[in-house]
Structure 1
Amino acid sequence: MTRLSYIDYHTCGEPVRIVTSGYPALTGAGILDKRRQAREQHDHLRRAMMLEPRGHDGMYGVIPIAASHPDAAFGVLFTHNEGYSTMCGHATIALGRYAIEQGLVKASEPVTRFAIEAPCGLVRLACEVKGSQGNWKVGNVSFESVPAFVEARDLVVLVPGYGDVVTDIAYGGAYYCILPASRFGLDLMQTPVEKIVAAAGALTDQVRASRRITHPTEPDLGFLYGTIVTDQAGPGEDSFNLCVFAERQIDRSPTGSGVTARMALDHAKELIPAGQGRRIRSITGGTFIGKVIGPVDFPAAGAVTVEVGGRGHLSGEGSFVIEADDPLGHGFALPKRFAEIVG
């Protein structure tokens, strides 16, 4: 019998399930080595935590690990319904609260600063803190991104059912296609969400199949994570977006790495100057505030760092049991048809 303990948070409604005990120690030299080890040797535990019957198709999680970067308080692996992402802003915001409440970092008023090591690199957090030892209250959490940059501008992609679709691709710890819903002939505010997800997923599939993405420094980071569909709001206005990532998973939050990528893209287009904040809202109405900090020395043209802020909330804690003789103990995704369970 296997037992896994966890603490659940959410950020703007997007879940963050943090494993607190029961997960094997990872022995890789660096964080990307540990990510590969988790994927190759312990993926059944990710499935058990993320998928049904303990999770659901929209679940998201964190595996805290020992950091290999000397400036990091700890390292993290991010998990979802399909695998392991390279960066997650909504989880990072929740981790700010988790780290202080669980005593992983030394807290002090009014702002506690520390860094975590994500697969994409070092991410620096600033957490608003009130209270005293053993009774800290964490408010807004912001993080400074890894170098963010534009991968492609005005890329024309032939998408079945939608024709030629023009999209940009930007990196904010993960790579995203970013485009307004109107490029699909849709309206973000009026079109049923399932149709937006279908369009975004179709674009992601086509770009993955037709374009090779190579990260400037780390081969493991070179893949398209998803598509962010936006409204038509101008750069000085609040904007809504829907992020469809991994295998058509819907982010309930505005998507921290996605907001990072959007800000880098808008800055490259000279729509938003450094230092100007912008509110990005999600399908739950949740809000992140993004702001370009400034240029950074990095082997990608026009790379910048971006600050993204929001707030996480505690939603539960407990432990899961995996019985050795349970045929569904390590999780399942609901099949589309009965034929998939035969043979």
Structure 2
Amino acid sequence: MFNYLISSAADPYSSHQQLQIAEVKLTEMEMQLPPHEGDELSVVDMHTGGEPLRIIHSGYPEVKGDSVLSKRRYVREHLDHLRRVLMFEPRGHYDMYGALVVDSELPEADLGVLFMHNEGYSTMCGHAVIALGRFAVDYKLVKEPQSPETQVNIHCPCGLVKAFVEYSEGKTGGVRFLSVPAFTFATDVTVSLERFGDVTVDISYGGAFYAFVDAKRFGLDVTTSRTRDLVDAATAVTNAVKSQVKLYHPTSDDLAFLYGTILTDGKDDYSSDPTANMCVFAEAQVDRSPTGSGVTARVALQYHRGLIRLNQTRTFQSGATGSQFTGRAVEETKCGDFKAVVVEVSGRAFYTGVSRFVQEPEDKLTHGFLLK
């Protein structure tokens, strides 16, 4: 575009000189913000396995609270309008996901984080942890990075998660993380769905609670069926479990809620071949990645059933994009009275850009909207 305009204009400067001038003017224009109210909100956008992560870099008001969990309650009660601004259209979309870096009360934590999505605030997010690991090293939120891996301790609402970021010659790469204790809450639970009748599900915790069911129960395939059909089936399961099963977490009532349903390909017996799943969480939001906390919960479930041994690595594939995470149980532990495991999940995250958002005073849609 610039080359065409320059070559056709009658001007004493050469095309190369005009291009340089145009680029300087464009750069100056990009540095200026339009008229707006309130603070500028700056973000760094990434994706992990296709699942977006909008990391809020600056512009958020002070988040009050003496713990990460209390900060989660504070943003839900006092700053939720900013979640809608950044997650909803026109700046985001129905399936946008976000992370707000906050201070942690844990001395060993490098950073705390609050996760946000179309419905509210989750307690754990594996794809976000993978992206935040790279972000923390690249944006110098940790001390001098080390090769071949730099450890980043991330305090999530569910607890401390240890991420390990590949680092070589100044560049970050893949990330693995060690989960909070993951456990199976219940197996072979029957719930009644209005459209589908009685369905048997398993419920497992990987920083958040998920219901698991084979997609074939609904005549579906997680890799080939229409996303809308998968969403409808998973949402029906989520609603049924929420209304018919009371969840419990031994350390905090804030963690005792069903985050979503994961439809699987039914290949739970150990194999070197990938096993696929599709996670539908929050307000029928579709995860494009294999779902890090979902992989954690699924590994815990497979270990509970004796289908996978300690340090036996499995590959989990997203039914939406085909992207892959690996997961393995590395240590037995306890979470209250539950037998639990620490799960290691590995994946890759990539940067997609940076943005600076403002709100114009006369924009009636500035606070965001969603199309359902």
Name the structure 2 match of 1:243.
Answer: 279
CA distance in 2: counterparts of 1:118 and 1:305, whole angstroms? 15
Contact kept, 8 Å, 1:18 with 1:61, in 2: the verdict is yes
Residue 278 of structure 1 corresponds to which residue in structure 2? 314
Aligned to 1:138: 172
Cα deviation, residue 190, structure 1? 3.4
How much does 1:243 deviate? 0.2
Which amino acid in the other structure matches residue 156 of structure 1? Answer: T
Partner of 1:341: none
Alignment correspondent of 2:167:
129
Q: Does structure 2 retain, via aligned residues, the 8 Å contact 1:235–1:272?
A: yes
Which residue number corresponds to residue 75 of structure 1? 112
Deviations 1:117-172 (A, max 9, x none): 000000001111011xxxx2111101000010011100011111111111000000
Is 1:176 aligned to 2:210, yes or no? yes
* Cα separation, 2, equivalents of 1:181 and 1:67: 39
Q: Name the aligned partner's letter for residue 86 of structure 2.
A: M
Contact residue 101 and residue 114 of structure 2 kept, 8 A: yes
Task: Please tell me whether residue 21 in structure 1 is matched to residue 58 in structure 2.
Answer: yes
Equivalence for 1:86? 123
Question: Match for residue 223 of structure 1?
Answer: 257
Structure number with larger C-alpha Rg? 2
Runs of 4 or more consecutive aligned structure 1 residues displaced over 6 Å after TM superposition: none
Alpha-carbon contact 1:25-1:65 (below 8 Å) kept: no
Counterparts of residues 91-110 of structure 1 (less than 5 Å)? 91-106=128-143, 107-110=145-148
Q: Specify the code of the residue in structure 2 equivalent to 1:296.
A: T
Q: Structure 2-normalised TM-score?
A: 0.87
Partner of 1:323: 360
Identity fraction in percent:
50
Distance 1:215 1:324 in 2: 44
In structure 2, C-alpha distance between the alignment counterparts of 1:59 and 1:191, rounded to whole Å: 22
**Structure-2 residue corresponding to 1:49:** 86
TM-fit CA distance, 1:191: 2.3
Aligned twin of 1:252: 288
Which structure 2 residues correspond to residues 294-313 of structure 1 after superposition, within 5 A?
294-313=331-350
Q: How far off its partner does 1:325 sit?
A: 3.0
Aligned residue runs from structure 1 range 187-226, under 5 A: 187-226=221-260
Structure 1 position 320, deviation (Å): 0.3
Question: How far did 1:330 drift?
Answer: 1.3
SS in 1 for 2:338: coil
Deviates more, 1:69-78 or 1:231-240: 231-240
Per the TM alignment, residue 297 of structure 1 is displaced from its structure 2 partner at its CA by 3.1
The one-letter amino acid of 1:235's match is Y
Aligned residue for 2:8? none
- Is the CA contact 1:165–1:184 (under 8 Å) kept in the aligned structure 2? no
Q: TM-score, normalized by length of structure 1?
A: 0.95
Q: More displaced, 292-301 or 12-21?
A: 292-301
SS of 1:182's equivalent? helix
Give ranges in structure 2 of 5+ residues lacking alignment.
Answer: 1-36
CA distance in 2, matches of 1:146, 1:44: 30
Alignment partners' CA distance in 2, 1:191 and 1:161: 18
From 156, 160, 175, the equivalent of 1:118 is 156
| Gap regions ≥5 residues in structure 1 | 337-343
For structure 1, which segment, 190-199 or 259-268, has the greater mean C-alpha deviation from structure 2 after superposition? 190-199
Q: What's the offset of the Cα at 1:196?
A: 1.0
- Answer whether contact 2:96 2:117 (CA < 8 A) is retained: yes
Distance 2:288 2:131 in 1: 14
Query: In the comparison of the two structures, how many residue pairs are matched?
Result: 331
Q: Displacement of 1:70 after TM fit?
A: 1.3
The Cα of 1:114 is off from its aligned counterpart by 2.3
Whole-angstrom CA distance in 1 between matches of 2:195 and 2:222: 18
- Partner of 2:75: helix, strand, or coil? helix
The answer to which of 231-240 and 157-166 deviates more is 231-240
Aligned to 2:23: none
